[in-house]
Structure formats: structure tokens, C-alpha cells
Amino acid sequence: MKGRLISTTGPLIAFSIINHLDVLHHLYSTIVIPEAVHREILEGGASNIGLTNYQKFEWIKITPLSNPIDPLLKTILGAGEAAVIWLAQELHFNFVLIDEIKARKIARNVYGLNVVGSARVLVEAKRHKLLNNVGDALQAMRDGGYWIDDSIFEIALKEAGE
């Protein structure tokens, strides 16, 4: 899966919860986030989930947008998701890492972006021997408070051969 990746907030938090942000670094040549995602992670809500792990990794590049985000996109999606889609389009990146369904559909169907989710990344990590068990990783994400739909969980297990 080598290529350049732009990520939304949720997957970064999910990988931080399970102490596997490094998987992204091994699977992708470049990982970028827009400033909006960086701010969302730093704000982190009351629990600051994933903040400590996120701050350890200097290979995640924070990149400003060159142009203002389409106002319509900003009204449909959250600030981080809109910024990810806009930045991916500006920089012509290979992949966007998005778990939220509406943002995935817009990124893929409207902007023609190659969308991957956290579960797909975990399956690829197992294929590259960076992870032993996708089911355990997904369950740990859930246990840490990250929502993963049952159907996504089951599909990932099937694709991982578990």
C-alpha cells in the first residue's frame, strides 16, 4: 500500500488507542494531516484519547491548505473531514484515511479519492506482518471507545482470515 496518505482525526485516535500509529508509517511513505485535524487531536475532549501517542510521532506532517475549503463541503462535513478531502485534492495524494460513512462517500463519489478505513489498514498491516491479529486490534479500538460497526468488524476478520 505504499503511497501518500492524508488522515482524519478518528483513525489517528483509534491507532493511538492500540499503540499502533507506527503501522501507518510502515504502510505509507508519507502521512499528512491538515491543521484542522491536528487541532482536533490536541483538543481531544475531556479524555485526550490518543494525544500522548500522537505527540510521539514526528513523521506525521501537519500541512496547511493552499486554498479555502469549498463552503458547501464545510456545511456537509466536520472541519477535519472537509480539510482532509480538500487537502488530498490539492496535493493529489494516493489515499485518504476516513472512517465516517458520509465523509467516505463524499470523498470517493464526489472527489474521486481513494478511501481506506482503519479496518482496511489493520488487514494490510497483518498481511505485511506488522500485526498478529486484526480482531484483537479492532476489539481494543472498541474497548478504548472507538466505534466500529459490526459489519465492518466481520468483513475485516474475513479478509484477515480470522
| pLDDT at residue 2 in the model | 81
- DSSP readout, 115-157? EE-HHHHHHHHHHTTS-S-HHHHHHHHHHTT----HHHHHHHH
Instruction: Return d(Cα 6, Cα 62) in angstroms, integer.
Output: 10
pLDDT for the residue numbered 55: 66
* Angstrom distances, CA of residue 155 to CA of 97, 134, 148, 159, 160: 17, 11, 11, 6, 9
The pLDDT score that the predictor gives to residue 46 is 46
pLDDT digits (tens, 9 = 90+) for 28-87: 999 999 999 988 888 764 455 656 666 667 888 999 999 999 999 999 999 999 999 999
The pLDDT tens digits of the residues spanning 16-26 come to: 889 899 999 99
CB burial string 132-157: b at 16+ within 10 A, e below: eebeebbebbeeeebebeeebbeebb
- Which residue from 104, 88, 94, 84 is spatially nearest to 149, judged by alpha carbons? 104
Which residues are CB-contacts of 6 (< 8 A; sequence separation ≥ 6)? 31, 32, 33, 34, 84, 87, 88, 91, 93, 95, 96, 97
Q: Which residue has the cell 484542522?
A: 36
Tens digit of each residue's pLDDT (9 = 90 or more) over 98-139: 999 999 999 999 999 999 999 999 999 999 999 999 999 999
Domain boundaries, given as residue ranges, for the chain: 4-160
Tell me the CATH class for 4-160: alpha beta
What pLDDT, on the 0 to 100 scale, is given for residue 1?
62
**pTM attached to this predicted model:** 0.90
